[in-house]
A and B are shown apart, each in its own frame.
Chain A
Amino acid sequence: MAFMQMTSPHAHRPGNTGHVMKLVILATLPGLITLSYFFGPGTLINVFTAGIMAMACEALVLKLRQRPVMFYINDYSALVTGVLLGLALPPYTPWWVIAVGCVSAIVLAKQLYGGMGYNPFNPAMVGYVILLISFPVEMTQWAMPRTLLAEGQALTGPIDGLAKMWFATPLDAYTGATPLDVFKQNNSQLVQHLYDTQAVFSTGRWAGAGWEWANIGFLMGGCFLLYKKVFTWHAPVSMLISLSLMAAMFNDGGSSNSGGSPLFHLLSGATMLGAFFIVTDPVSSATSNKGRMIYGAAIGILIYLIRTWGNYPDAVAFAVLLLNFAAPFIDYYTLPRTYGHNKARRGTEKEAE
């Protein structure tokens, strides 16, 4: 009798890529919940819409490419992209904006490059940047956090929110400036003064109402993924450290020229979402641990540079895409030292015997 033939190893750790992706989605929950708590259910609706649209795009392209649809959909990577995009968009983003974002992310940035594992750029960030450039108005408004609402004013409910998303009905509690916007536009006041006078700060604690908690939520999710060993600490931690160092260097003692304290930068904008859910995207990042440290650190520096001196209030997407470009270059110089070798090689170098 002939037995089954296959090569070693015969044992395999339980779990698969779909499992990893599900963990990632699970880990976004604390952030998602805090965002929805402070800004209303807008982000939640975004996430649902984007998730479904992303999966639909993926299924469509797979069909066109004549690949087994269910096999690839089941790796949940499209869902992750959709969820991350949904989290990054302002609450109640109009549906057509989300649709353009999903098509850009899944079709342009992922499937056209060959699908899962072959995309040089982070799909969610490609989608985000394309939207930011194409729909600057929709993309630079944000819902007001619940702490800022006037007496008697309520958070936008799901009905109004959906109306805005589908029919572009304007909302009341909207177009609140984000803490990063406030800093960007300030050039005359001391930081302390900003914190006292601007509602978004005065009703918050460290880095703006709502935002700080959302960031802490994502930080928690990130720690969970670290604990689950879904990724290593190298890229996110070095990004957070470099961002803090930059902020500390240019904090300027809180003068009117200050770019904001390290804590402010750590807990505002998409910092934590970026650090633990975008920078850790393995496909488009550097490969080795050393490489990932460089990759993360460079993203941290770029985020600070663009936030403080660039044209956009937040910069995670741009910084990540720029470093996606540089990832192969980083890989080339950061091969780990192999057992039994005196030093690491370069990417193409042959060793002198």
Chain B
Amino acid sequence: MRKVWDIHGGVHPPENKQQSMQQALASLPLAPELVLPLNQHIGKPAIAIVAEGDTVLKGQLIAKADGPISANIHAPTSGTVSGIEDRTLPHPSGGSGPCIVISSDGKDTWAELDACENYQTLDHNTLLEKIRSAGIAGMGGAGFPAAIKLNPRGNLKIDTLILNGTECEPYITADDTLMQTRAQEVVAGAQILAQLLGNPKSILIGIEDNKPEAIRSISKALSEVENNPIEVVSFPTKYPSGGEKQLIQILTGREVPAGKLPADVGVVCQNVGSTVAAYRAVRFGEPLISRITTVVGEALEIQRNIEVPIGTPIGYILEQHGFTAANVSRLIMGGPMMGFALNTADVPVIKTTNCILAPSRAEMPAPPPAQACIRCGMCAEACPASLLPQQLFWYSMAEDLDKLEAHNIADCIECGACSYVCPSNIPLVQFYRASKGAMKQHAIDKEKSDRSRARFEFRQQRIEKAEVEKEAKRAARKVAAEAAKAKLAAKQASEGDSPKTDDTADVVAAAIAKAKTQDISPEVQLAKLERALSSASSRLDRTLARAEEAEGEKKDAILARVKDAELKVSDAKNKLAEFQARENG
């Protein structure tokens, strides 16, 4: 047995894994319409390369990765593109975003795939390109494009490859099913990834000890491999062992330094699902167009794992599983610890959807109201990052961003272990998310204000410099003038006294004259004021019209201008009224 390390904290929520393991892996009849968000991964959204009305084949590229941190998207079935439009996304925000919608033709015709039997002979770049173009993005839930992790910076030596089969979240059994049914593919995938990383010293498949079947299947598949370098490591079940940083700590005893990547400590970690997808991409040229998802919860009649095309609407899946909406307490994508609640079933399965959880009200009642924090420290005992959640909570409430930073809020992985144990039922993670958001905003604002300060200082300097130059010129002129005066005096002295002209008096008279001409008639003044008013109000109308059209951030800017225009109008009105009062009174 290989030595495993323990992580700090952790919790043991009821596993609830047997419900979905009673039935074999199934698949559904194809949904009539598939919805593929352009952003299913971390990074930039892909760029659609099909247009409405195009026919597509299963596996055909329909959206191209935009830059390295992005992922390709392929058609999960054959059919026509019925639209490229904004749909509700499966995202905690509940917002919508661009999606490619495909109406299936029911034939499920494959595009031509680029299979490769002797992939062992492929060079690094070809292999990596195959994985990259298959659009594989972290299928454990995070959605980080796999190809990037598999290509660490040149100077980093990778000595450990970890395949994450932990699946520590309650209810979810997608990876368990995958390992049981496709053990050979997991192993073959592991070999490919190892090849890519220059055959690291240890290749570990980490599985929690609550999945004996999976461990057995994988071990069996490994025993069939000659000179097998891969090792299955099982370790005690505890949430959140499956977090990347936690798993690395459990299997290697190393900690990923804050702000660094696993590759910085010589480790690359991939989910087993992504590993199988990589294998299929390399061996058969199959892009990532379907995945195993756990469909579970007491609001369903059938609870099981299904292999489902990406883009299948969740509502459609629920329908096929005897879903009673009246029973459900909430609809969750992902597990009960880190999954997010969907506000509608009208969203598709995406690459990261490992579970659809529809618990009944009895199963997951609405949370009781939060009580005061009694500082019992149970949260700190549970935190896998060794943070002090109660202090983070305190400072979050006080919006003390400096203290939050000092208490390392950035290292919170939002695992929810603290909220899970909190006897006062405080939704701690919610506070941390809000604070992290505020800190991000603060950083952006700070950068902005730094930049404008820099601009201001630069301008100030420029003005000062100009001032100094002007001063110098003036001084020079003065010297010259004095010299000239001296010359003149000398000349006059030589010519004798001339009569003195009273120029001061002249200047005053001129000023008075000028003021007189400026004293315009009342009619003219009135006309002027009226003109000002009408131009101000027409300007207001214009901006109002523009404001109506504009959206988002722009709208705010324009609204600010409207306010401005309104002020000008009222100003002009006031002046006019004042003038009229004066004239009449």
Given contacts A9-B337, A71-B369, A282-B374, whether A339 and B380 have CB atoms under 8 Å apart is: no
B330 touches A6 (CB 8 A): yes
Query: What does the 1/0 interface line of B368-398 toward A look like (CB < 8 Å)?
Result: 1101111111101100111110110000000
> Which residues of B381-428 are within 8 A (CB) of A?
381, 384-388, 390-391, 402-403, 405-408, 411, 414, 416-417, 419-421, 423-425, 427
Could you say which of A3, A16, A348 contacts B368, with CB atoms under 8 Å apart? Answer: A16
Question: In the bound complex, how far is the Cα of B427 from the Cα of A288, in angstroms?
Answer: 21
B11 within 8 A of A: yes
Query: What does the 1/0 interface line of A280-307 toward B look like (CB < 8 Å)?
Result: 0011010111001000000000000000
Could you say which of A3, A11, A335 contacts B343, with CB atoms under 8 Å apart? Answer: A3
Question: In the bound complex, how far is the Cα of B192 from the Cα of A52, in angstroms?
Answer: 71
Binds A, one of B206-214, B249-257, B446-454: B249-257
Nearest to B338 among chain A residues (CB) is A8
Query: What does the 1/0 interface line of A66-80 toward B look like (CB < 8 Å)?
Result: 000001100101000
B316 within 8 A of A: no
B331 touches A3 (CB 8 A): yes
Residues of B within 8 A of A15 (CB): 423
Given contacts A17-B423, A287-B390, A346-B406, whether A11 and B337 have CB atoms under 8 Å apart is: yes
Min CB–CB distance B275 → chain A (angstroms): 25
Given contacts A15-B423, A116-B374, whether A9 and B340 have CB atoms under 8 Å apart is: no
B532 within 8 A of A: no
B373 touches A117 (CB 8 A): yes
Could you say which of A3, A16, A77, A232 contacts B377, with CB atoms under 8 Å apart? Answer: A232
A7 touches B92 (CB 8 A): yes
Given contacts A338-B408, A339-B255, A340-B255, whether A16 and B425 have CB atoms under 8 Å apart is: yes
B419 touches A341 (CB 8 A): no
Given contacts A1-B344, A338-B411, whether A7 and B374 have CB atoms under 8 Å apart is: no
A3 touches B376 (CB 8 A): no
Instruction: Give the secondary structure class of A's interface.
Output: loop
Interface-central residue, A2, A6, A77, A337, by most chain B CB under 10 Å: A6
Residues of B within 8 A of A75 (CB): 371-372, 374
Question: In the bound complex, how far is the Cα of B406 from the Cα of A338, in angstroms?
Answer: 11
Query: What does the 1/0 interface line of B195-238 toward A look like (CB < 8 Å)?
Result: 00000000000000000000000000000000000000000000
A338 touches B387 (CB 8 A): yes
Residues of B within 8 A of A282 (CB): 374-377
A16 touches B391 (CB 8 A): no
Binds A, one of B77-85, B117-125, B276-284, B359-367: B359-367
A204 within 8 A of B: no
A118 touches B330 (CB 8 A): no
> Which residues of B305-344 are within 8 A (CB) of A?
325, 328-332, 334, 336-344
Residues of B within 8 A of A348 (CB): 402-403, 406
A288 touches B380 (CB 8 A): yes
Residues of B within 8 A of A16 (CB): 368, 371, 423-425
B266 within 8 A of A: no
Question: In the bound complex, how far is the Cα of B439 from the Cα of A15, in angstroms?
Answer: 33
Could you say which of B8, B385, B429 contacts A8, with CB atoms under 8 Å apart? Answer: B429
Interface-central residue, A72, A115, A230, A287, by most chain B CB under 10 Å: A287
Question: In the bound complex, how far is the Cα of B524 from the Cα of A40, in angstroms?
Answer: 105
Given contacts A3-B331, A16-B368, A338-B387, whether A349 and B406 have CB atoms under 8 Å apart is: yes
B94 within 8 A of A: yes
B258 touches A2 (CB 8 A): no
Could you say which of B13, B330, B375 contacts A3, with CB atoms under 8 Å apart? Answer: B330
Question: In the bound complex, how far is the Cα of B384 from the Cα of A230, in angstroms?
Answer: 19
Min CB–CB distance B371 → chain A (angstroms): 5
Residues of A within 8 A of B542 (CB): none
A220 within 8 A of B: no
B430 within 8 A of A: yes
Could you say which of B386, B390, B429 contacts A338, with CB atoms under 8 Å apart? Answer: B386
B341 touches A339 (CB 8 A): no
A345 within 8 A of B: yes
A20 within 8 A of B: yes
Given contacts A1-B325, A16-B423, A282-B375, whether A10 and B339 have CB atoms under 8 Å apart is: yes
Question: In the bound complex, how far is the Cα of B466 from the Cα of A352, in angstroms?
Answer: 40
Nearest to B256 among chain A residues (CB) is A340
A347 touches B170 (CB 8 A): no
Residues of A within 8 A of B385 (CB): 338-340
B337 touches A8 (CB 8 A): yes
Question: In the bound complex, how far is the Cα of B416 from the Cα of A78, in angstroms?
Answer: 29
Could you say which of A8, A17, A331, A346 contacts B339, with CB atoms under 8 Å apart? Answer: A8
B563 within 8 A of A: no
A5 touches B338 (CB 8 A): no
Residues of A within 8 A of B259 (CB): 340
Residues of A within 8 A of B341 (CB): 3-7, 10
Min CB–CB distance B89 → chain A (angstroms): 15
15 contacts between A and B (CB under 8 A): A3-B344, A5-B343, A7-B430, A8-B338, A9-B429, A12-B420, A15-B423, A17-B374, A75-B371, A75-B372, A116-B372, A336-B387, A338-B386, A339-B8, A348-B403
Known: A71-B371, A338-B385. 18 other contacts (CB 8 A): A1-B325, A1-B344, A6-B366, A8-B416, A9-B419, A10-B339, A12-B419, A13-B421, A16-B368, A17-B423, A71-B369, A282-B376, A339-B258, A340-B256, A341-B408, A345-B408, A346-B406, A348-B406
> What are the 8 A-B residue pairs with the smallest beta carbon separation, nearest first?
A9-B416, A117-B372, A11-B336, A340-B258, A116-B372, A4-B330, A10-B336, A338-B408
